[in-house]
Chain A
Amino acid sequence: MQTIALIGNPNCGKTTLFNELTGITAYVGNWPGVTVEKKEGMWNNIKVLDLPGVYSLSPYSPEEKLSRRYILDEQPDLIVDVIDATNLERSLYLTSQLAELGRSVLLVLNMQDLLEREGIVIDTKRLSLMTGCPVVSISASKGIGLESFKKEVEHALKENKAPACPLFSNYVENLLTTIIEDDYLHLIPSGRPQRWAAIKLLEEDELFLSSMPPIPEAFAEFLHQAKTNLRLHFEDDPEAIIIDQRYKVAEHIAKHCQTKKFQKKRFNFDTIATSRFGAIPLFIAIMGAVFYLSIGLVGGYTTGILENFFAYLGSNLSILLDSLGVFPLLSGILIDGIIAGVGSVLTFVPQLFVLFLLLSILEDCGYMARIAFIMDRLMRTIGLSGKSIIPMVIGTGCSVPAIMSSRTIEHQKQRELTVLVTPFIPCGAKMPVFALMLTYFFPGKWYIAPLIYVLGILAVIITGLLARAIDKHKEKNAFILELPRYQLPSAKNVYLQTRERTLGFVAKAGTIILLSSVIIYLLSSYNFTLQSVDSDDSMLAIFGKFISPVFIPLGFGFWQASVALLTGIAAKESIVSTLSVTMGTQALSSFFDPASALSYMTFILLSSPCIAAISAMAKEFGNRKKLLYALIWQTGFAYLTALLIRMLAMLIL
């Protein structure tokens, strides 16, 4: 089977093309670095690979290393170089590196629908002649040009012809020729072109050098001399000379293939979005509006209706099953287990749908990179980077993609700190338990819900400040981020992304929550001798009572709360379903008081996230010890904060 790999600059539309080809709904958005993992799919019996975006084949962050490793080691049959057509020059810089790999390359000019608006015309025939690669124009988001894309891919796979390598200045070319003649070049791994290796030797590429045997003394001496001469001749480092000359090639091609008409300055949303005084208030207002619309407006309206619906369903079903004489165990599982448990979670589908919808609009329009830009200075004071804000915004939906999106942060310590604090931002799955507690204990006190977010943000700040105080890393770290063009969110993308996430939530209700509700019901109805007992004497109660003493200082030292927290590790939604199954018909107020409800919410907000997020954390840390420390910090911090909140609440309330 043949393989094609999609590669290109960040945010040029590789994943949109990938989704369009394979019918998969992979995560897309309009900021650089949405895709951080390799993805595979099938299209016309061809394996299609979607790789994280790179500006060059000299990687900085982990996801860029992955792209380079793949493109070098796995050797796809065709490299599909996806180019943002409105950004030709910089894209051709990457093309100049891909062309040297000795594989066939297809240039895909994406976003051709935007060219007209930008006043750009590209001569594709000429581009093809000058690069030696076939060229095809498409618009992945509009589904335009996919027929000719298909034809070009088939053609390129059949021909299997490598493009012409970009030529450097005579001085460099002569040097490369001499290097290639040395015997050492025979030692390069098979499939790697000698010219490419010679350039890497000049650049002193560390990843390449570490994969090679030591350089013999005579050759090393020759290389050293050659590099010294280069330095003298061009007054710069060899690596910089190569980059410089590559960009000259890119400039030359772009100049001859592209004509730009003068564009009248149109209104740019950045006039407000990144303005000096308006930027941060606007950001707060936008996030506030997102939560108000989803949780406040839609949530407030639908939660009651759905709760009543499930209560009605439960009571009617119970009458029906009784009249049919169904075995009480079965009707118990169905009504007190499944309907109570799954229902308590499904109640939140409408508001989460709206939350996911609004977040995907934010992600698609190009605003996310601006948030990083305007917040960088503030984030730096707590030891994070502007890029850390992107995971936190995504984290209001779900921590798993949020934690993954921290991978684009180049600096390792900042990246790990971001992974540690992202779960402090309450995700959608924690919403049900907050809503349950708030409507029961604090009806009409609307200001408590936003305070939960404030508390999460405070936890981020405190952790950041502490981490900075403990570890005085004064290392220079860079913050370099492309600001993409704004675009109207594509209805199709927003629809697909929202559907994917909402269905994910519903699917969890139908699987994990369903199963855990049934198990919790059974465990809370029987004792160890399998006798039907009062839930206080059940297996679950006995088990829960082992843990619950730990939580006595926090005010929820009863077994139901502890068991709910445990099931929350599987999925945070199950906290509510477990509470409703184990407490049965008893009122919440016979267990919690307002102060302990607050401390319970605090503990859930800050303690370690669900298993899916924990495994995402494990992946980013790549180290069990770090993961363990992170979980201990989160849970310990949660415990102390919850204690503090309870004491404060007891004083005030």
Chain B
Amino acid sequence: MAKTMDELTVGQRAEVGAIKAPKQLKRRLMDMGFTKGVDVEVVKMAPMGDPMEVALRGYNLCLRKAEARVIELR
């Protein structure tokens, strides 16, 4: 099993691999720039540990861990 983005801790960087999600969510995540090979860094966790803030392609975005879980890393 590949590591997924929700397993990263604050400050860790990784490269995005495949996205294993239903068509619409996959499309949405890819539209936001989560394509293969892109660098992501976890910036912060929200006060209750979810959602998480990540930096990619020069901007910051937040998403829930449930969504981060479909993004595999390599």
Contacts and interface: CB of A to CB of B under 8 A. Distances in A.
Interface of A: 55-56, 58, 60, 86-90, 93, 236-237, 239-240, 243-244, 247, 270, 274-277, 279-280, 369, 372-374, 376-378, 386, 476, 478-483
Nearest to A275: B47
A386 to B, nearest CB: 7
B61 to A, nearest CB: 5
Contacts, number: 108
Contacts of A476: 22, 25, 66
A56 B30 CA distance: 10
B27 A377 contact: no
A227 to B, nearest CB: 13
Nearest to A483: B60
Interface residues of B, number: 36
Contact of B63 (A86, A87, A479): A479
B58 A86 contact: yes
Contacts of A478: 25, 28, 63-64, 67
A90 B55 CA distance: 13
A357 B25 CA distance: 38
B28 A480 contact: yes
Nearest to B60: A483
B36 A279 contact: no
B14 to A, nearest CB: 17
Residue among B33, B36, B46 with most chain A CB within 10 A = B46
A478 B19 CA distance: 15
A274 B61 contact: no
Enumerate the 4 nearest inter-chain pairs by beta-carbon distance, A residue then B residue, closest first.
A377-B48, A56-B31, A243-B30, A483-B60
A44 B38 CA distance: 43
A240 B46 contact: no
A432 to B, nearest CB: 36
Contact of A480 (B38, B45, B59, B63): B63
A483 to B, nearest CB: 4
Contacts of B53: 274, 373, 483
Given A377-B51, A478-B25, A483 B67 contact: no
A interface, over-half SS: helix
Interface in B6-65: 18-19, 22-33, 35-36, 38, 44-51, 53, 57-64
Given A87-B58, A243-B30, A479 B46 contact: no
Contacts of A275: 47
Residue among A240, A277, A376, A480 with most chain B CB within 10 A = A480
Nearest to A373: B62
Contact of A376 (B25, B31, B46): B46
A278 to B, nearest CB: 8
Contacts of A279: 46-47
A247 B56 CA distance: 13
A482 B46 contact: no
Given A55-B31, A239-B27, A476-B25, A277 B59 contact: no
B33 to A, nearest CB: 5
B59 A374 contact: no
A567 to B, nearest CB: 43
Contact of B31 (A58, A88, A280, A479): A58
A480 B67 contact: yes
24 contacts: A56-B31, A89-B33, A93-B31, A237-B23, A237-B26, A240-B19, A240-B27, A244-B30, A270-B44, A279-B47, A373-B51, A373-B53, A376-B46, A376-B51, A378-B48, A386-B51, A478-B25, A479-B67, A480-B28, A480-B62, A481-B62, A482-B59, A482-B60, A483-B62
Contacts of B22: 476
Given A86-B58, A89-B58, A476-B25, A374 B47 contact: yes
A373 B30 contact: no
A237 B36 CA distance: 13
A483 B57 CA distance: 13
Nearest to A234: B36
A479 B29 CA distance: 11
A254 to B, nearest CB: 9
